[in-house]
Amino acid sequence: MTLDEIASRFDIPGRLALLTPTGSGNVNETYLMVFRTAFSEQRAILQKINRTVFSKPSWVMENLRTITEHAHRRLEREAARADRIWQLPRVIACKNRRDYFRDSAGDCWRALSLIASATSYDTVQGPDHAQESGAALGQFHRLVSDLKPARLHDTLAGFHNTPLYLKRYDATRRAQRAKHLLQASPQARALAQFIERRRARADVLENARARGELSVRIIHGDPKASNIMIDDLSGKATSIVDLDTVKPGLTQYDFGDALRSLCNPAGEETRDLGSVRFDPTLCAAFIKGYMRFARDFLTPHDKSYLYESVRLIAFELGLRFFEDHLAGNRYFKVRDARHNLRRAHVQLRLCEKIEAREKEIRAVLSEF
């Protein structure tokens, strides 16, 4: 079946005028569709859901329908009081009214409305962009704060559970391959020692959840800069997209992951460890934007663990990269055999930089 035939299964008026790859994501295949009639044009996104990552695509689509319908209802009620037009993608049904089309190979395809006249960026563009990114995540968390997490499927069980990743790492280290890599590489041994010194703090969020201090809510799951849409006309955030990873979890996971990715301008792939830093100006700007929308539903306990979340998520990603290196690069795509080792070094160096900024980060958070 051709892409044109798949696109024709969705209930979009007009004739298909353009179908072309778009976006920089590395999970789903993504295409821009343009349909035209004699008097109108409609643009939409066509995606094939990655079954390797999401073993139950129907769960992804049920979550997406639940989350967007709930958020759209709140946005409509609040539109008159809002300082901007907030948007979320809309699921475009097939002509047979299903939310997705399954092809002869068993792959699931879905169509989503396009957030028009808006741009996303792979890296943070400055303090204003960081503040608007914080506003987008805070608004998303606020919009779904009254939606019961039990209504969503857990499409990525164990995601962001640092103790589970640590157990996997421990199991990998016992394998002969990992022992050989550690013996042969001083850098790998240094990273292993770094992880050991921080092992006791790996369960800080999960322990807080077990004690009832933190509650499971709905999280985005991947709140990086490239998933924040900035309005081309106003320069304000207008949407957060890529909702496949939306699931029940701790709000702190999103908060920590956003700051981890936004506040290291060098990025995850840098080869220059000296360029890795945690920018306090970008951090303060993000927190200001986030708290404008999230401060009212966050509890004192929620706020007290926000610093720990920033440090922990950097540690967790470094741990995951390092474990994958020791296991033979089975999960993350790599360009060479040491790629994951370099990535791990970047994230664990970032963790160290975050720890050095603890007082500054806590001081900003204390203002809210």
What's the CATH number where 343 sits? 3.90.1200.10
pLDDT single digits (tens) 295-335: 999 999 999 999 999 999 999 999 999 999 999 999 888 89
- 97: DSSP letter: S
CATH number of the domain bearing residue 101: 3.30.200.20
Classify residue 262: in a domain, yes or no: yes
Mean pLDDT of 178-199: 97
Torsion of CA 232, 235, 241, 247, to 10 degrees: -170
The burial class, CB within 10 Å (0-12 / 13-18 / 19+), for 123 is middle
Domain edge (last residue) among 92, 114, 136: 114
Residues across the chain:
368
Task: Say yes or no: 136 and 8 in one domain.
Answer: no
Average per-residue pLDDT for the chain: 95
Task: Say yes or no: 192 and 290 in one domain.
Answer: yes
Classify residue 350: in a domain, yes or no: yes
Domain interval for residue 70: 3-114
| Cβ–Cβ under 8 Å, residues 37 and 76 | no
| Cβ–Cβ under 8 Å, residues 12 and 111 | yes
Task: Say yes or no: 324 and 218 in one domain.
Answer: yes
Domain edge (last residue) among 114, 138, 154: 114
Classify residue 257: in a domain, yes or no: yes
Classify residue 197: in a domain, yes or no: yes
Task: Say yes or no: 59 and 200 in one domain.
Answer: no
Classify residue 269: in a domain, yes or no: yes
Task: Say yes or no: 180 and 106 in one domain.
Answer: no
Total number of domains constituting the chain: 2
Element (H, E) at 153: none
Task: Say yes or no: 192 and 332 in one domain.
Answer: yes
Confidence (pTM): 0.92
Domain edge (last residue) among 114, 139, 158: 114
CA distance 178 to 209: 32
Classify residue 121: in a domain, yes or no: no
Classify residue 122: in a domain, yes or no: no
pLDDT single digits (tens) 17-34: 999 998 765 567 899 999
pLDDT single digits (tens) 113-168: 999 999 999 889 999 999 999 999 999 999 999 999 999 999 988 999 999 999 99
